[in-house]
Amino acid sequence: MSALPSDAAGQHAAASQENEGGVEQVQPGVWRITVPLPFALRWANAYVLRGAGEWCLVDAGLATPPAEAMMLQGLAAVGITPADLSTIVLTHGHPDHIGLAGRFQEASGAPVLMFGPESERMFSVWAQQDMSAIAAVSDFYRKHGMPAEESAQERAAIAATRRLVTIPQQVTPLEEGQEIRLAGKLYRVIWTPGHSDGHICLWREEDGLFIAGDHVLPRISPNIGLYPNCRPDPLGDYLASLEKVRDIPARLALPGHGAPFSDLAGRVQELAAHHAERVEETYQIVRATESSIGVSAYQVAARLFAGRFDSFQNRRFAVGEALAHLEYLCFAGRLVRFEDARQRVGYHIALTLRGQGAAPLVRNSGE
């Protein structure tokens, strides 16, 4: 999922105006199917690629009846059913991108391609059998200051979301830099960790088509959050991944949410600036509210997303996002993290910065 609390009302309204769901041809041989989501972020895109007598689906919506109906309608509009798919590629393992992958693989026998480590995570978080991942999530939020009753809700939310995805039986792992042929065209796999650890973009150099997934979105800032067992510095990863795609001479970028857009470099710049601002805001909040036990990510999130800290769904994204910024500041040596005997985590201004703003002598390991 990609809903960012900061973008709630205005941008979601704008997105829904431009996008009522359905199918549209983006260019010859490329279609966008937009499916509805029962989340704050109301729509997700999937793309159909055609060529060399093959059909490739990029991302697979969500397995709710309305999203599935829209997906089937979209496929029918281009003249196929799920059984006709030759390949399914998943940009990342979030529910609104993988939802129908299992069902469509079953219908078509098509290989499902995604970044190798991302598929492992998908199996552990979203497969029905593994309960330990769910327990880890609520423990994680409690540790970061979420009240017990809310972290229990988190558990229930994951269990409910598991019913909205069908997991593929088999995944063909992709690697960074690999070249793959989809519906007759060559694409390069670009690993872009940040929004999720194993997120990939696909670059079709031949005609400048860039499949962005949720790495670069046109109107909203993709959710960059810290979650249990993820890479330690998702915001650092994300900013590096923005750099990685900034100079790609894309003619058209196809995002996971919102309309296709042309100015990739410009949008990358805006997203990087947005996070730079948010990093400073986060630091100032810690400075202003610091107590002897430090400030929890939950407290920081409540300030950082004040006014939008209103629903359970918004709060969990807000805490994850605040954590990504807090950890980034720890890696930069500007904050330190402290965990007390009851495993509650608090953040402090790095000691060496309290005085004259001198360079820190002790770097936080970020562990």
Q: Measured from the CB of residue 1, what is the shortest distance to Zn ion in angstroms?
A: 6
C-beta closer to Zn ion: residue 64 or 108? 64
The angle, 0 to 180 degrees and rounded to 10, between the axes of the packed helices 148-162 and 116-126 is 110
CB 330 within 8 A of CB 366: yes
Q: Measured from the CB of residue 230, what is the shortest distance to Zn ion in angstroms?
A: 13
* N-term to C-term CA, the chain: 26
C-beta closer to Zn ion: residue 214 or 233? 214
Work out whether strand 54-58 and strand 112-115 pair parallel, antiparallel, or are unpaired.
unpaired
Residue nearest to Zn ion (CB): 94
C-beta closer to Zn ion: residue 94 or 325? 94
Strand partners, 339: 345
Q: Measured from the CB of residue 96, what is the shortest distance to Zn ion in angstroms?
A: 7
In angstroms, the CA 197 to CA 63 distance is: 23
C-beta closer to Zn ion: residue 55 or 317? 317
Q: Which candidate, 7, 62, 60, 69, places its Cα nearest to that of 38? A: 62
CB 213 within 8 A of CB 205: no
Q: Measured from the CB of residue 115, what is the shortest distance to Zn ion in angstroms?
A: 13
C-beta closer to Zn ion: residue 227 or 283? 227
C-beta closer to Zn ion: residue 45 or 364? 45
For Cα atoms 362, 288, 280, give the angle at the middle one, nearest 5 degrees: 65
Q: Which candidate, 77, 86, 96, places its Cα nearest to that of 184? A: 86
C-beta closer to Zn ion: residue 39 or 328? 39
Which contacts of 204-208 are long-range, i.e. CB under 8 A and separated by 24 or more positions?
207/251, 208/249, 208/250, 208/251, 208/252
Q: Measured from the CB of residue 95, what is the shortest distance to Zn ion in angstroms?
A: 8
CB 251 within 8 A of CB 208: yes
Q: Measured from the CB of residue 212, what is the shortest distance to Zn ion in angstroms?
A: 11
Q: Measured from the CB of residue 118, what is the shortest distance to Zn ion in angstroms?
A: 11
C-beta closer to Zn ion: residue 113 or 212? 212
Q: Measured from the CB of residue 255, what is the shortest distance to Zn ion in angstroms?
A: 11
C-beta closer to Zn ion: residue 94 or 144? 94
Q: Measured from the CB of residue 342, what is the shortest distance to Zn ion in angstroms?
A: 33
CB 331 within 8 A of CB 236: yes
Q: Which candidate, 35, 43, 31, places its Cα nearest to that of 257? A: 43
Give the binding site for Zn ion (CB under 5 A): 2, 94, 214
What residues have CB less than 8 Å from 175, skipping those under 6 apart?
115, 116, 189, 191
Q: Which candidate, 334, 328, 327, places its Cα nearest to that of 361? A: 334
Look-up of token digits 């973008």: 7
